[in-house]
Chain A
Amino acid sequence: MYGWIFRHLPGPLWLRIITAIALLLVVIYALMEYAFPHFEQYSPFNTDVTIDQVH
Chain B
Amino acid sequence: MTAPLLAAQGVCHRFGELAALEDVEAAVAPGELCVVVGPNGAGKTTLLRVLAGLLRPDHGSVRLRGSPLDSLSRREIARSVAVAAQEPSLPFPYTVAEVVGMGRAPFLGPFGRESGADREIVLEALARTGLALLSERRFPTLSSGERQRVILARAFAQTPCVMLLDEPTAHMDLGHRVKTFEDLRAWVAGSPGDRAALVVTHDLILAARYADRMTLLDRGRCVSHGTPREVLDPARIAEVYGVEVSVLDDEEGRPVLVAHRSRIAYTPRPDGSDR
Q: Do A and B come from one complex?
A: no
A contact residues vs B (CB 8 Å cutoff) = none
B contact residues vs A (CB 8 Å cutoff) = none
